[in-house]
């Protein structure tokens, strides 16, 4: 009882606290200076700070905000945050924003960041020159810097996309560093900026302060074979280098200029100095000179400027015609596409075909290459596809992208799809059979069109279904003995893209005529009925085939199964384990079926 009271009291406290206004009452200290490490304690009322979910940061209009190194919750109303301020942080007033797990509590202009009196800067480096491939130490002298006060400080060299990171840092004092570098022969020669950054000093740079000289062993590309091609060519380019370390899986060959980049569809590294690339050049690739580049992961790139020339193939590939120019929603249409100066084939230059209408792109189901300038593109148009004029877009690896504006006009469907026939259109309770449904003005789609039989709120779905062709689908149905007899609607749900189809009362499920079956087609005599302990089974006709005997309850569940061998004429079924009630006995021999209603007492 006491525990329940304390729990309810605590819940009431949380509720009342949540209802009271959450505010920040103080920030201590409420000002700092650039190049300062500072712990700030934020105190609030009704804020309910929690370790791991609560945090503090400073925000200022036009600024990305200043975030602390860590946050420590002292109690539910106090949180301590450790900040590093650098000259990269703007001076001025900042809002203090505290997150308590459910929202922000803001104290406007709650903290002021003062400018540092003397901005840190880099004064000199020694040496200011090295040779590619060397290992050396660089001495860096700064002024008003805070070397060693930030364990996340970093030094690197930079030039035109190349970063050379330090291998180690030795702090002599706040204004004196010794930095080790391991230079790769892959690092390109030239002028580099010296960059230092830390959370206290920000980003400090000495532009073009360091010169990297080429080594006698610097890698270079010495030959490209062939070194030229025409648009439409497919060829293997072999690049040979000296002092290179080409490696399978980490070296990549490509061509580039200011307009374009061309990548091969496959690479092969022969050895340290030879790499090949299989290229397809098409009309989308700009003509002119290209730099030949081999990029090596973790090493860098080796470049031969203007090492490859791509020439124009003359008249560019183009689309000439598309027939037919009209199609209807809900139809399958095969278009014959004629082109000029193309090189279509099914092996190395297989095209893709797309119809585009504003933001909608329609892809064909399959393509047949008739010859180098003729295609057959098979499209299926649903009722959801946008009607109107579509551009025809054809792409081929050797020929590039070709466009024919307003090539095909997709028209709205004139008639809605309907069901024309259901075969068979009837069955008896207990039957298992295949029903085929034929539709008009429809293209049935695997995975989209779904057949079912409906009566009131009851829906009977097939155990499996097959799309026979565009207009015929079939389903495997099992009609349990407890399914209601009478007329069923045949329904096909075609998904969002196609209208649903329904043929009312077109299928009839009938009650099995037991008397007629027994008198004319009874294969076995079943007695006694009603039965108690055993059920006797006797053949009515001479046959050497086995009979399969199944007993179902009124819910359609199989409760007993046996085989009457073709070698015997009479047998018994034990009913000792079967509960009293009404059952359906089903006898099957080859394609013949006999069913009987059995009462067990």
The three-point CA angle 29-31-36 to 5° equals 95
Top CATH class of 18-114 equals mainly beta
d(CA 465, CA 452): 10
CATH code, 418-510:
2.60.40.1930
**Whole-angstrom distance, CA of residue 529 vs CA of residue 245:** 91
- Exposure string for 118-132, b = 16+ CB within 10 A, e = fewer: eebebeebeeeebbb
Of residues 70, 82, 79, the one with CA closest to residue 99: 79
Sequence-separated contacts (24+) of 335-340 with Cβ below 8 Å: 335/376, 335/377, 335/379, 335/408, 336/374, 336/375, 336/376, 337/374, 337/375, 337/376, 337/377, 337/392, 337/394, 338/373, 338/374, 339/373, 339/374, 339/375, 339/394, 339/399, 339/402, 340/315, 340/373
Tell me what pLDDT residue 512 has. Answer: 58
CB atoms within 10 A of CB 490: 22
DSSP letter at 5 equals H
Token code pair at residue 307: 């090492």
Q: Which fold has domain 514-600?
A: Immunoglobulin-like (2.60.40)
Cis peptide before 225 (omega within 30 of 0): no
Kind of pairing, strands 228-230 and 300-311? parallel
Q: How many residues does the chain have?
A: 601
What superfamily in CATH does domain 121-213 come from? Immunoglobulins (2.60.40.10)
CATH superfamily assigned to domain 318-411: Immunoglobulins (2.60.40.10)
Confidence (pTM): 0.54
Which structure tokens are listed for 185?
């022969």
Q: How far apart are CA 332 and CA 376, in angstroms?
A: 13
pLDDT score for 19:
52
Q: How far apart are CA 219 and CA 217, in angstroms?
A: 6
d(CA 524, CA 274): 84
* Local structure of residue 185 (DSSP, 8 states): T
Q: What's the rounded Cα separation, in Å, for the pair 14 and 11?
A: 5
- Residue 33 tokens, joined: 């200076």
Q: Which residues contact 456 (CB under 8 A, 6 or more apart)?
A: none
Q: What is the DSSP string of 337-399?
A: EEEES----SSS---EEEEEETTEEEE-SEEEEEETTEEEEEEE--TTSPPEEEEEEEEETTT
Domain 220-311 classification at class level? mainly beta
160 preceded by a cis bond (ω within 30 of 0): no
Q: Identify the pLDDT of residue 17.
A: 45
Alpha carbons 467 and 469: distance in angstroms, whole number: 6
Q: Are 52 and 72 in contact, with CB atoms under 8 Å apart?
A: no
Residue 233 in tokens: 């060519």
Give the three-class secondary structure for 240. strand
Q: Where are the domains of the chain?
A: 18-114, 121-213, 220-311, 318-411, 418-510, 514-600
Are domains 220-311 and 318-411 of this chain identical in fold? yes
Alpha-carbon span 18 to 8, nearest angstrom: 15
**Mean pLDDT in runs of 10 for the chain (601 residues)?**
43 48 95 97 94 94 88 96 96 95 92 96 97 94 96 94 93 97 91 97 97 92 95 94 93 94 95 96 92 90 94 91 95 96 91 94 95 96 93 94 96 92 90 92 89 93 93 92 88 91 94 45 77 84 78 81 82 86 83 80 82
CA distances from 315 to 136, 235, 310, 339, 341 (A): 57, 20, 15, 12, 7
């Amino acid at each position: 009882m006491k525990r329940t009271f304390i729990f309810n009291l605590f819940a009431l406290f949380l509720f009342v606290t949540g209802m009271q206004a959450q505010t920040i009452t103080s920030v201590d200290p409420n000002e700092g200076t650039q190049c300062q490490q500072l712990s700030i304690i934020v105190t609030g009322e009704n804020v309910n700070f929690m370790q791991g979910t609560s945090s503090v940061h400073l925000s200022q209009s036009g600024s990305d905000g200043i975030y602390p190194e860590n946050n420590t919750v002292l109690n539910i109303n106090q949180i301590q945050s450790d900040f590093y301020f650098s000259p990269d942080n703007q001076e001025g007033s900042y809002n203090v924003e505290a997150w308590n797990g459910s929202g922000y509590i803001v104290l406007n202009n709650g903290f002021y960041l003062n400018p540092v009196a003397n901005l840190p800067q880099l004064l000199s480096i020694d040496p200011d020159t090295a040779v590619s491939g060397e290992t050396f130490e660089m001495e860096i002298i700064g002024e008003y810097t805070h070397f060693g006060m930030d364990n996340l400080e970093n030094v690197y060299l930079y030039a035109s996309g190349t970063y050379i990171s330090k291998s180690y840092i030795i702090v002599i004092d706040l204004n004196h560093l010794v930095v080790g570098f391991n230079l790769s022969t892959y690092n390109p020669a030239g002028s580099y900026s010296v960059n230092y950054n830390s959370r206290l000093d920000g980003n400090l740079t000495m532009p073009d302060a360091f010169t990297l000289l080429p080594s006698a062993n610097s890698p270079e590309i010495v030959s490209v074979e062939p070194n030229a091609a025409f648009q439409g060519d497919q060829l293997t380019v072999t690049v040979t280098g000296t002092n290179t370390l080409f490696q399978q899986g980490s070296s990549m060959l490509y061509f580039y200029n200011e307009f374009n980049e061309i990548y091969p569809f496959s690479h092969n590294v022969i050895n340290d100095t030879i790499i090949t690339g299989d290229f397809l050049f098409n009309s989308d690739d700009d003509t002119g000179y290209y730099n030949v580049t081999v990029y090596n992961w973790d090493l860098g790139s080796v470049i031969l400027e203007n090492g490859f020339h791509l020439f124009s193939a003359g008249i560019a590939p183009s689309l000439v015609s598309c027939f037919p120019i009209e199609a209807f929603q809900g139809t399958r249409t095969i278009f014959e596409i004629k082109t000029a100066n193309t090189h279509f084939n099914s092996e190395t230059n297989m095209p893709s075909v797309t119809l585009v209408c504003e933001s909608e792109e329609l892809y064909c189901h399959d393509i047949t290459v008739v010859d180098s300038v003729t295609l057959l593109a098979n499209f299926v148009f649903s009722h959801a596809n946008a009607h109107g004029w579509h551009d025809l877009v054809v792409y081929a690896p050797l020929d590039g992208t070709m466009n024919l504006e307003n090539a095909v006009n997709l028209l709205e469907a004139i008639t809605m799809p309907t069901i024309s026939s259901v075969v068979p259109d009837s069955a008896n309770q207990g039957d298992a059979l295949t029903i085929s449904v034929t539709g008009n003005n429809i293209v049935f789609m695997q995975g989209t069109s779904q057949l079912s039989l409906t009566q009131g709120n009851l829906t009977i779905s097939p155990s499996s279904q097959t799309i026979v062709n565009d207009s015929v689908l079939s389903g495997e149905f099992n009609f349990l003995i407890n399914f209601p007899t009478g007329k069923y609607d045949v329904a096909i749900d075609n998904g969002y893209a196609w209208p649903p189809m329904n043929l009312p009362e077109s299928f009839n499920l009938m009650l099995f005529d037991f008397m007629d079956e027994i008198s004319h087609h009874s294969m076995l005599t079943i007695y006694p009925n009603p039965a108690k302990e055993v059920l006797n089974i006797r053949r009515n006709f001479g046959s050497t085939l086995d009979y399969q005997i199944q007993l179902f309850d009124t819910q359609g569940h199989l409760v007993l199964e046996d085989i009457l061998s073709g070698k015997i004429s009479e047998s018994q079924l034990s009913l000792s384990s079967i509960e009293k009630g009404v059952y359906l006995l089903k006898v099957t021999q080859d394609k013949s079926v006999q069913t009987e209603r059995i009462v067990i007492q």
